[in-house]
Structure 1
């Protein structure tokens, strides 16, 4: 049986496909309390002499993340 997202919940996993420093350390999905599915990306930040923390990015799954096929960058 596959895991089913429920409103207000989600899962995040270590990114085993990370090949560059800018790629997230962890990736996953969440569902907002109003039922919108989103991608989650997390980076572990370790500033010198300070407490480590997570930097988080959330993006709706239906948002387009790349240029359309016929688009030309400016």
Structure 2
């Protein structure tokens, strides 16, 4: 996933839902799986600065803000 998901209940075969977490590196393939997580009535969210960002004068900005520097 890249974002958030809620896994309600179990799959039709009675097993937990399994989701793949993207590798959090800018040079990784877009759909490269870093880890697989099993979920049952649980939510999962991811966020990072390696994919969505912009640059101004060589400084990278994203939606993730360091609380120490703003």
TM-score bracket for the superposition, by shorter chain length: under 0.3
TM-score computed with the length of structure 2 as normaliser: 0.27
TM-score computed with the length of structure 1 as normaliser: 0.26
